[in-house]
Amino acid sequence: MGEGCWLDPAANSRSRLCIRGVANIIGTDMDIVLRRPDPARLDEEADAAMAVQRTTLQATLPGLPHPHTEEEDRAWMRDNFARCSVWLAVDGDRIVGVATRSGALVRQLYVATDRTRAGIGQRLLDAMLAEAVAESILTVDLWTFQRNAGARRFYERNGFVAMEFTHGASNEEREPDVRYRRSIRVGAAGG
Ligand SMILES: CC(C)(COP(=O)(O)OP(=O)(O)OC[C@H]1O[C@@H](n2cnc3c(N)ncnc32)[C@H](O)[C@@H]1OP(=O)(O)O)[C@@H](O)C(=O)NCCC(=O)NCCS
């Protein structure tokens, strides 16, 4: 897990408002704030983000095999938080969305089931793409499951193009998946 993730402690600090030209706290509309994890509560927030992922994935793709215990999931997410670029969507004290990126790979994008289709995913994606632009990354890839019609629609309307379809032999769930790619350029990602 986490190959190619870059470690930049400053990028997860709210004490610095701008890293590589990208604001670290974005927007207050809809009462949802996008921000970095709080360094003082990193594990706690990673656990809450993992709960969002587990719940939304189960609701979106019922019956999807999940080969890990909750403890393993939490450890994996904590590692992700330590090593990747992370954005959280927060409503008050509640984490309602999470996005993680490792270089040119979007690793996770999840919105709480009761908060989907309200623009939160779009804001998280925009934040990741703006940050990638600031890092001079030219293309961004991500994987999703083929039967995840909602996510595929979301990505395709954001300019992602399906590049590769697999039978799932390489993922833990053994679920057919698809790799998407989006070319990005300065000024194209809301940054
Ligand atoms: C996919 C996801 C991240 C999008 O975030 P979001 O906040 O719901 O999306 P936004 O509100 O910014 O954008 C909504 C648009 O995305 C598409 N979309 C999102 N969910 C959809 C769904 N269940 N069915 C159809 N279209 C969907 C539609 O185009 C929608 O626009 P519309 O409501 O006008 O039709 C979110 O729905 C989610 O977390 N889904 C479950 C987990 C998941 O599949 N994550 C991606 C794993 S790779």
Domains, the chain, with CATH or none: 4-137 (3.40.630.30)
Contact (CB, 8 A) for 127 and 87:
yes
Q: Does ligand 1 lie within 6 Å of residue 124's CB atom?
A: no
pLDDT tier at 184, thresholds 50, 70, 90: confident
- Per-residue confidence at 24, pLDDT binned at 50, 70, 90? low
**Would you give the distance in Å from CA 17 to the centre of its chain?**
20
CA dihedral 1, 99, 112, 180 (to 10 degrees): -80
**Which ligand 1 atom is nearest residue 97's CA?**
39
Establish whether residue 14 lines the binding site of ligand 1, counting it when its CB lies within 6 angstroms of any ligand atom: no
- Please give the residue that has the higher pLDDT: either 67 or 72: 72
Ligand 1, atom 4, lies closest to the CA of 121
- CB of 157 within 6 A of ligand 1: the answer is yes
The pLDDT of residue 2? 31
Residue 144 scores a pLDDT above 90: yes
16 CA to middle of ligand 1, Å?
Answer: 31
pTM of the model: 0.86
pLDDT of residue 14 exceeding 60 = no
Taking residue 170's Cβ as centre, other Cβ atoms within 10 Å add up to: 9
Ligand 1: centre distance to CA 68 (Å):
25
Residue 125: CB within 6 Å of ligand 1? no
Mean pLDDT lowest among 47-61, 70-84, 115-129, 172-186 = 172-186
* DSSP β-ladder status, 139-145 and 94-102: unpaired
Report the nearest-CA residue for atom 15 of ligand 1: 154
